[in-house]
Structure 1
Amino acid sequence: MRITCPICGPRDRREFYYQGAAVAIERPAPDAGAEVWDDYLHNRDNPAGETRDLWYHESGCAAWIVVTRDTNTHEVMGAELADDAKAERP
């Protein structure tokens, strides 16, 4: 899989560190029960199809980027700096 870094251009995905879904996950209250904390720490959605993921360009420019890709085909539809993606959110 090739990821186009907004700074460095097209690179092999092995230059990047995958962090997970690029969505905010709400942290439970400190006094939430063990089941709630277990779910927060260990369970994540694993959707088939288009996703937006957070990647770190570890072997390159050290930028955090948001990659839009299809988990079924491994097609990368786009990548943008994480700061730019954050600024687009309402």
Structure 2
Amino acid sequence: MQLIACPWCGPREEVEFSYGGQAGVPYPADPAVLSDEQWAHYVFFRDNPKGRFAERWNHSAGCRRWFTAIRDTATYRFERVSRLDDPKPVT
């Protein structure tokens, strides 16, 4: 079992967390003018790199707060976690 370091609660087992997708995806400025194809691209298309990647995680079985994690997708190792109000992490 892998431990994930919640920025508020400290290290907890990974079963307490839910994956929230790619971090830093901006919401469209005017979603009402998007075509169906553009909206689908916003909702479903995400980067899928091999290596360091910024992600959103939720401590769903703990404090229920969202945070950003830098994780290596090849090794699954969490390199760093930060609160959403912290400066944007660099990958």
Specify the TM-score bucket, using the shorter chain as the normaliser. Answer: 0.7 to 0.9
TM-score normalised to structure 1 length: 0.81
The within-5 A match list for 1:55-66 is 55-66=57-68
Q: Which has the higher helix share?
A: 1
Structure 1 runs of 4+ aligned residues shifted over 4 Å read none
Aligned residue runs from structure 1 range 42-57, under 5 A: 42-57=44-59
Calculate percent identity across the aligned residue pairs. Answer: 36
Which residue number in structure 2 is paired with residue 5 of structure 1? Answer: 6
Aligned residue pairs, count: 86
**For residues 33 and 6 of structure 1, what CA distance do their matches in structure 2 show?**
38
Q: Which runs of 5+ in 2 are unaligned?
A: none
- After superposition, the CA RMSD in angstroms is 1.7
TM-score scaled by structure 2? 0.80
Unaligned runs of 5+ in 1: none
8 Å contact from structure 1 (residues 16, 55) kept in 2: yes
Structure 1 counterpart of 2:25? 24
